[in-house]
Every structure is written in C-alpha cells, then in structure tokens.
C-alpha cells in the first residue's frame, strides 16, 4: 500500500495543480462560445432579403434565349426562324434534332422536361410556354 501511495500521490498533486489552468481554459472556451452565438432575430431582420432567389424569368427573356439557342443550332436557318416556325415543316428538322434541341433547352434553363412535355414541343413558342410554366427555370 505504501508503494501505491507513492505513485498515486504525485499524480493527484499534479492533477490538483493543473485544475486551475483547466478551469481557466474551460471558461475561456465557454466565453468564446457565448461570443459566437448569433445575434437576436430583431437585429437580423434585414437578412431575410438575402434569402430571396433570383427573380423569375419573363416571357420576353425566355423567348430571346430560346431564339438565340435555335439560331446557334447549326441545322436551323436563322432567316426562317420565328416563334411560330414548326421544327419539322418550316425548319426541316428531324426527330433526333428535336431531341437535341430539347436537351439544349434543358441545359440552357437548368430544368428537366418530362418526356411527355418534350414530345409536345414542336415550335419555339411551345418551348417558351413549357419553360415559363416550369418554376425551376433559371
């Protein structure tokens, strides 16, 4: 027992000596945590404005972007391009070209069109309508 006391007492003495330093470190950490707490909601009322997303696209913006995308498509003759030009009858595009256009529209506006909706798009105006109805269009 005497040997155990020789070993245990110095460890207890060292722990007791270190206790005030630990308490000081713990209180410093607690003070830092208190200072990092968010301010009351009343002082952050203006922050609500930052959470608003971008303004929704207007029909005119969508029309301009759709027409520009189609003008850049190599198989479309820009002189024949109007909002009411039929992809197959007026522009001479085939079904594969329509799929490519649909994919390009999805990329341009960061949306995903269901297959059923994509099959219904036969003119730029129909594309504009589908994109305008999609709330995720950017």
Tell me how far apart the alpha carbons of residues 89 and 82 are, in angstroms, rounded to a whole number.
Answer: 13
Q: Which residues contact 101 (CB under 8 A, 6 or more apart)?
A: 69, 70, 73, 87, 93, 121, 127
Catalytic residue from among 64, 72, 77, 94: 94
Helical H runs in 36-135?
59-72, 95-109, 115-120, 124-133
Q: Does residue 94 have an active-site annotation?
A: yes
Catalytic residues: 94
């Amino acid at each position: 027992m005497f040997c155990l006391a020789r070993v245990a007492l110095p460890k207890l003495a060292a722990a007791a000596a270190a206790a005030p330093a630990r308490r000081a470190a713990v209180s410093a950490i607690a003070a830092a945590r208190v200072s990092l707490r968010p301010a009351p909601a009343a002082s952050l009322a203006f922050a609500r404005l930052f959470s608003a997303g971008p303004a929704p696209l207007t029909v005119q913006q969508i029309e301009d972007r759709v027409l520009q995308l189609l003008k850049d498509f190599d198989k479309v003759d820009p002189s024949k391009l109007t909002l009411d030009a039929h992809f197959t009858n007026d522009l001479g595009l085939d079904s594969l070209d329509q799929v490519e256009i649909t994919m390009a529209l999805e990329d341009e506006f960061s949306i995903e069109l269901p297959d059923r909706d994509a099959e219904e798009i036969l003119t730029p105006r129909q594309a504009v309508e589908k994109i305008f109805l999609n709330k995720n269009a950017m």
